[in-house]
Amino acid sequence: MNTKYTERLKKIEEQLAEVLPQTTADAWIEKLIGYQSLVASQESIRRIISPALDLIERGGKRWRPMLLVLCSEIVNPDLSIEDNPALPLVSLVEFAHNGSLIIDDIEDNADFRRGGPAVHLKYGEDVALNCGNLLYFLPTWVIDRSNFPPETKLAFYASYNLTMRRLHLGQGLDIQWHRDHEYFPSVEEYLQMCRLKTGSLSALAAKLGALAGGGGEAESELLSGICEDIGVGFQILDDVVNLTKGVPGKRRGDDIIEGKKSLCVIIHWKEAPETVGRLKELFAYTARKNHGEVIPEIEEAISLMEASGSIEKARNTAHRMLQDAANRLCNSFRPSESRDLILEMISGFLS
């Protein structure tokens, strides 16, 4: 990995640990709830946040907070890695993402995440729901306590709230589709859902970074649009990998059990309508089983999509989207270390 990338990644991890520390103290409690004196024990607080710490420490690509930092540097090349004012904001995108994973796994009845049991299976559904929702709100104190002007703080909050509304609307559409094995959305519907559910968070990273770096509205919107496309392209490729070599930390073909209407499935529906009936049967059957019980059915569903070429066509769609985002980035911003690191990130998704 590029040493310049790892230097920034180290700073990002430090910021995440500051907002969600292993050991809580009165100063942290005050940041979280506004006053120090809390009758509840430290052990009680630890139990509340343990599921979040567990999930975050299992790893993750951290590419969204990295986008935030790099976008701040693109609009302000004079920023140093050490004292970049955008760094404290990274938890806003990373914790929102992790909170959505916890809730998403409950909604999808998923049993595996990042190489371990899903949070709701390990800690209980009630604890997981509370922790997932806490992660949406916990990092907002970094805005309250920052030194940004009031109008910039307001812009941060407006962007964050808009993103959370979009994220939940997109997730709602995704849930509807995977519950109904008879309904297949159009490609246009799918891409809109993906922009809401996944692209909005990477767009937020760009917007927060650009604003924190002192960029203007035009620069912020331009970077936000480019990074939204990066997020959508990443999601499409993530779904492709789930059906091919398998996403690290998850089981190959989990999306079949969840009934996920990925772009691969939608293209297959259009390309091979004669096999859609069988694909529906496989989706319905696997939804009632554990992963280990339905591996032959998962493999059959994947084989149908491989035969129609739908997986390859979905991959090509993502590649075009990511390449277009890279081209727009190159055409809109002059060469710099931060711009090149984003281009490397995109290349990593494409490989």
- How far apart are the C-alpha atoms of 343 and 336, rounded to whole Å? 11
Can you give the pLDDT at residue 1? Answer: 65
CA distances from 123 to 62, 102, 337, 338 (A): 24, 11, 42, 39
- Residue 34's region, left for phi above 0, alpha for psi from -120 to 50, else beta, is left
Integer Cα distance of 297 and 283 in angstroms = 9
Contacts 24+ apart (CB under 8 A), 76-81: 76/213, 76/214, 76/215, 77/336, 77/338, 79/213, 81/7, 81/8, 81/11
Cα 134 to Cα 19: distance, rounded to the nearest angstrom: 12
Write the DSSP string, 296-316. HHHHHHHHHHHHHTHHHHHHH
Task: State residue 342's pLDDT score.
Answer: 97
| Spatial CA neighbour of 52 closest among 141, 145, 120, 107 | 120
**pLDDT value of residue 174:** 92
DSSP-derived 3-state class of residue 222: helix
Alpha carbon distance 20, 14 (integer Å):
10
Count of residues making up the chain: 351
The structural domain count of the chain equals 1
Which CATH number fits the domain that encloses residue 201? 1.10.600.10
Q: CB count, 10 Å around CB of 144?
A: 10
Q: What does the pLDDT profile of the chain (351 residues) look like in tens digits?
A: 688 999 999 999 999 999 999 888 888 888 888 887 778 788 888 899 999 999 999 988 899 999 999 999 999 999 988 889 999 999 999 999 999 999 999 988 888 898 899 999 999 999 999 999 999 999 999 999 999 999 999 999 999 999 999 999 999 999 999 888 888 999 999 999 999 999 999 999 999 999 999 999 999 999 999 999 999 999 999 999 999 987 676 778 888 888 899 999 999 999 999 999 999 999 888 887 777 788 899 999 999 999 999 999 999 999 999 999 999 999 999 999 999 999 999 999 998
pTM of the model as a whole: 0.93
**What is the gyration radius of the CA atoms in the chain, in angstroms?**
21
Parent domain of 105: 3-350
CA separation for the pair 139, 20 (Å, rounded): 8
| 199 token code pair | 């692209």
